[in-house]
């Protein structure tokens, strides 16, 4: 089966600093990658996505980088705020494109 993993299970950053959350994936045939944010007691919420034909995509305060050579995905959050404290998941799609595999998550804590 697929495996999507994260390098660090927890991350603490000072408010205002930039955060980087990493993710490794195993299926070189995956063509779609998504980052989700899950706050305590809630369901995952879409943050940003990237297709395999791209290396970088930017959103509001977030940037996703994709390195297909080493099958690595990262989420960068600029000027991290207390509201960014949550668990972040990366997900990749299957060969068929319809099934998604999630990583185990990284817990981000923002220190005021």
Partner 1 sequence: EAQVTQNPRYLITVTGKKLTVTCSQNMNHEYMSWYRQDPGLGLRQIYYSMNVEVTDKGDVPEGYKVSRKEKRNFPLILESPSPNQTSLYFCASGRVSYEQYFGPGTRLTVT
Residues in touch with partner 1 (CB under 8 A): 1-2, 4, 32, 34, 41-46, 49, 89, 91, 93, 97-105
Q: How far apart are CA 50 and CA 108, in angstroms?
A: 21
Which tokens go with 31? 């063509």
Q: CB of residue 99 vs partner 1: minimum separation in angstroms?
A: 6
Q: CB of residue 93 vs partner 1: minimum separation in angstroms?
A: 6
Q: Where are the beta strands (DSSP E) in 18-85?
A: 19-25, 32-38, 45-51, 56-58, 62-67, 72-77
Cβ proximity to partner 1: between 77 and 91 the closer is: 91
Cβ proximity to partner 1: between 46 and 79 the closer is: 46
CB-CB contact of 45 with 71 (8 Å): no
Which tokens go with 48? 């940003």
CB-CB contact of 56 with 65 (8 Å): yes
Q: CB of residue 30 vs partner 1: minimum separation in angstroms?
A: 11
Cβ proximity to partner 1: between 49 and 61 the closer is: 49
Cβ proximity to partner 1: between 5 and 16 the closer is: 5
Q: CB of residue 112 vs partner 1: minimum separation in angstroms?
A: 27
């Amino acid at each position: 089966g697929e495996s999507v993993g994260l390098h660090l299970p927890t991350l603490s950053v000072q408010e205002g600093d930039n955060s980087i959350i990493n993710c490794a994936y195993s299926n070189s045939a995956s063509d779609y990658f998504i980052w989700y944010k899950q706050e305590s007691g809630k369901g995952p919420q879409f943050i940003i996505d990237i297709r395999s034909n791209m290396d970088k995509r930017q959103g509001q305060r977030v940037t996703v980088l994709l390195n297909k050579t080493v099958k690595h995905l990262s989420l960068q959050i600029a000027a991290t705020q207390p509201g960014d404290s949550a668990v972040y998941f990366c997900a990749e799609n299957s060969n068929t494109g319809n099934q998604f595999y999630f990583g185990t998550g990284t817990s981000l804590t923002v220190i005021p």
